[in-house]
Amino acid sequence: MIDLSFRLAQPPFSLEVELALAGRVTAVLGPSGSGKTTLLEVIAGLRRRAHGRVTLDGLVFLDSDRKTELAPERRHIGYVPQEPALFPHLDVAGNVRYGVRVPSEASNRRIAETLALLEIEKLAPRFPSTLSGGEAQRVALARALVTEPRLLLLDEPLAALDSELRHRILPYLIRVRDDAKVPMIYVTHHVGEALILADEAVVLRAGRVEATGPVQNVLTPKLVTSVRGDATFENIVRGVVIDDDRASGTARLAPLSGGAPDVATLLTVPAVDVLRSGAEATYRVASEDVLLLRALPGAISARNVFAARVIAVETLRTDVLVRLRAGTLEWRALVTPAAVRELEIAQGVELVIAIKTHSFARLG
Amino acid sequence: MDAAEEISILALSLQVAGVATIAILPIGVLLAWLLAGFRGRVRVVVESLLTLPLVLPPTAIGILLLTMLSKNTWLGRMIAALGVEILFTWRAAVLASAVMSLPLLVRSARTAFEEIDPRLLGVARTLGDGPLRVFLRVALPLAWRGILAGTLLSFCRALGEFGATILVAGNIPHRTQTLALAIFHRSQVGRDADALRLVAVVSLVAFVAVYATERFGKRRDDTRSAT
C-alpha cells in the first residue's frame, strides 16, 4: 500500500498528488510533461523539496511535518529509468551485482535466478555499450530485482524499443509480476501495456491526478485518446491451452475469467512450440483486427467466429470503437463511421465477431 | 655549467611540481565533486574565487601569499610556532605552485563529473549506496580520465610556475631555484646558451605530460553511458 500526499513546486511546473495505491501493478499514464517521471523520482527519494507525506506499507519515506526524509539508499526501491542507465564501467555481471551488499550463497542464487528469469545469463561478461536496447532494459530490470526491492518503479521501460522488441520484453515483465511478485509502479504511454500488466491505473495531467482506480474503469477510450492522440486499443486475452493441433498449426485457448477457464468460448490461436496443453498464455489482438459482421457467414477462413452483443459505441477522432460482450469476454473493435452506418451498429445490437487465428499475437 | 647542476635543477623542479600536484589532488577532486553537484550563487562565488589564480598576475598571488605567511599574521605566527619554515624554502615553491595550478585541476575534474549521467548516480542511490559510496563506485571510475588530465595539466602548470614562486621562495640556487627561475636567472646574466638548454629540458618534460594528457584524457567508447 503506497500512500502519497505531496506537492512539489518547480516553477512553472508543479506536481500535486493525493493517491492511495493498493494494486500489484499500478500503471501511470499521462501526456509528456504531466509529471510521471517526477512522481517516480519523489517515491525513490531522488527529488528533494517535495512537501508532504510518502509512505509504503506504513514505512515513512517522507513526512515534511515531522521533517523526516528517508535517504534513497534506505528505501529499498528498485528504479529502472526510461533509458536503462547501466553503469558503463561495469560489465553486465557487475551491473546486476551492484546492489548486493554482502555476497552470499543466497545472493548468488538470487542473481542466477534473476538472470535466468530474464534470459540474460549469456550477457554476463559483456559491457553495456555492446548491448541492444532490449538486452540493456532486461539487465537494468535484473539489477533492480536482485536487491529484492519493496517496490519496483519502472519508467517507460519499453518506450525506447521498437514494437517487435516491445512484444518480446513484455512477457519478462509479466514474469516479474507473477513470479518475482514485486509490486510495481509502471509509467507508460501505452494503453495495451497498461491493460496487460496493471490492475490499477493513474492518469496524470499537468501535474494533477485526473483519474485513478481499477485499470478497466480508468482507461476508457475517451480518456485514453485525450491523453494520447494515437492510442491503440488492444484486446488482451489470457487463457489456458486446452489442446494443440500441430498438423493445423493451431491451438485452442480457454479464456480465463474470474480465475476459471471459460470452456464455452474457445478461441483458436497459433500453436507455439513452447506451449503445451494446460499452459497459460496471454494473447493480444489489435482492435483493427476484430471484424464485425451482421450475420453468421457461410464459409470464412477466420477460425474464430462467434456472436456478441454491442455494449458501447464510442466515437474517437476518425474511427469508432465498438465494445462488445461475448460470453465472459469483452472485445474492442475499431471500425469506420461508414461501417457503423451500414451495419447499423448501436448499443444492444447482436453482431458476429470474426478474428483470424494469426491476429492473435502471443505476449507471454 | 655542468650537467650535475642541471640535473639538480630538474630534480628540484620535479619535486616541487610533484609534491604540489599530489597535495592539491584530494582537495581539487573534492572541490570539483562538490561544485558539480551544486547550482546557484554559492557555486558561482566559489568558482570565481577558484579562478582568480588563473587570471590574476602571478606576482599578485605571490604578494598575497607572502603577506599571509609573514610573521605579522596569525597564520604566519602559528606556522612559526610549529617550527615549520615555509617562506624562501622549497616548501614555499610548492605552495605557490599548488595555488596556481589548483584551478586547472578543479575545472578539468568538475567537467568530468558533470558529464556523468545524473541518472547513474540516482540509480546507485536506489541500489543502496550513500553519497560517499556513489562517489567512490560510480563518480570516480567514470571521471578518472578527466581527473588524470587535470592532474597532468596542473603538474605542467606547477612546473612552469614563476611569478608567485619568485616572490615567496626567492631564487636561491640548489634550494629554491626551479627550472623556470633558473632560465630567468641565466638569461639575465647573459648565459643564453645555458638558458636554452634548460628550455629544452623543460620542453621535453612538458611535452611528455601534455602528450599523456591528450592520450589518456580522451574518453573511450566503452566508458560512455549506454543509451
The whole-angstrom distance between B224's CA and the closest CA on chain A is 6
Confidence category of residue B221, pLDDT binned at 50, 70, 90? very low
Is the complex ipTM more than 0.90?
no
CA distance A195 to A207: 23
The whole-angstrom distance between A78's CA and the closest CA on chain B is 6
A35-57 confidence digits (pLDDT tens)? 999 999 999 999 988 999 999 99
Strands A25-29 and A200-205: parallel
Question: What is the average pLDDT value for chain B, to the nearest integer?
Answer: 90
Contact at CB, B126 and A85, closer than 8 angstroms: no
Kindly state whether A182 is in contact with chain B, defined as any CB-CB distance less than 8 angstroms. no
The whole-angstrom distance between A69's CA and the closest CA on chain B is 14
B65-92 confidence digits (pLDDT tens)? 999 999 889 998 999 899 888 999 999 9
CA distance A304 to A353: 8
CA distance A201 to A27: 5
Kindly state whether A133 is in contact with chain B, defined as any CB-CB distance less than 8 angstroms. no
Residue B223 DSSP class: G
Kindly state whether A46 is in contact with chain B, defined as any CB-CB distance less than 8 angstroms. yes
CA distance A285 to A271: 15
Taking 80 as the threshold, does the pLDDT of residue A226 lie above it?
no
CA distance A39 to A47: 9
Q: Are A255 and A241 in contact (CB under 8 A)?
A: no
Q: What angle do CA B118, B119, B125 make, to 5 degrees?
A: 100
CA distance A169 to A83: 14
pLDDT, residue B4, reads 86
A57-85 confidence digits (pLDDT tens)? 999 999 999 999 999 999 999 999 988 89
Confidence category of residue B199, pLDDT binned at 50, 70, 90? very high
Confidence category of residue A225, pLDDT binned at 50, 70, 90? low
Q: Are A43 and A185 in contact (CB under 8 A)?
A: yes
| Closest CB to A73 among B125, B141, B221 | B125
Q: Are B35 and B41 in contact (CB under 8 A)?
A: no
Residue A81 DSSP class: -
CA distance B57 to B63: 10
Beta-ladder partners of A355: A304
Transcribe B179-201 into DSSP letters. Answer: HHHHHHHHHHTT-HHHHHHHHHH
Q: Which of A77, A82, A87 to mutate to test the interface with B (most CBs of B within 10 A)?
A: A87
pLDDT, residue A194, reads 82
Helix (H) or strand (E) holding A245, with range, is strand A234-245
pLDDT, residue B225, reads 40
Kindly state whether B115 is in contact with chain A, defined as any CB-CB distance less than 8 angstroms. no
Q: Which of A250-254, A334-338, B110-114 has the highest mean pLDDT?
A: B110-114
| Closest CB to A72 among B120, B125, B222 | B125
CA distance A223 to A231: 10
Q: Which residues contact A103 (CB under 8 A, 6 or more apart)?
A: A97
Q: Which residues contact A291 (CB under 8 A, 6 or more apart)?
A: A302, A333, A353, A354, A355
Contact at CB, A76 and B141, closer than 8 angstroms: no
Question: What's the average model confidence in pLDDT over B38-45?
Answer: 85
Kindly state whether A39 is in contact with chain B, defined as any CB-CB distance less than 8 angstroms. no
Contact at CB, B226 and A77, closer than 8 angstroms: no
User: In this structure, how many other beta carbons lie within 10 angstroms of the beta carbon of residue A323?
Assistant: 19
What chain B holds in terms of domains, given with CATH numbers, is: 3-226 (1.10.3720.10)
| Closest CB to B130 among A71, A78, A144 | A71
CA distance A129 to A61: 34
Q: What angle do CA B201, B207, B211 make, to 5 degrees?
A: 155
CA distance A124 to A92: 5
Name the percent of chain A lying above pLDDT 90.
43
Question: What is the average pLDDT value for chain A, to the nearest integer?
Answer: 86
Give the residue with greater pLDDT, B120 vs A241.
B120
Kindly state whether B39 is in contact with chain A, defined as any CB-CB distance less than 8 angstroms. no
Q: Which of B56, B159, B46, B148 is nearest to B98 (CA)?
A: B159
The whole-angstrom distance between A184's CA and the closest CA on chain B is 15
pLDDT, residue B226, reads 38
| Closest CB to A79 among B123, B137, B227 | B123
Q: At what angle do helices A133-145 and A105-117 cross, to 10 degrees?
A: 150
pLDDT, residue B71, reads 86
Kindly state whether A102 is in contact with chain B, defined as any CB-CB distance less than 8 angstroms. no
Which residues of chain A neighbour B38 with C-beta distances below 8 Å? Answer: none
Which residues of chain A neighbour B226 with C-beta distances below 8 Å? Answer: 83-84, 86, 88, 128-129, 131, 136
Kindly state whether A69 is in contact with chain B, defined as any CB-CB distance less than 8 angstroms. no
CA distance B118 to A177: 28
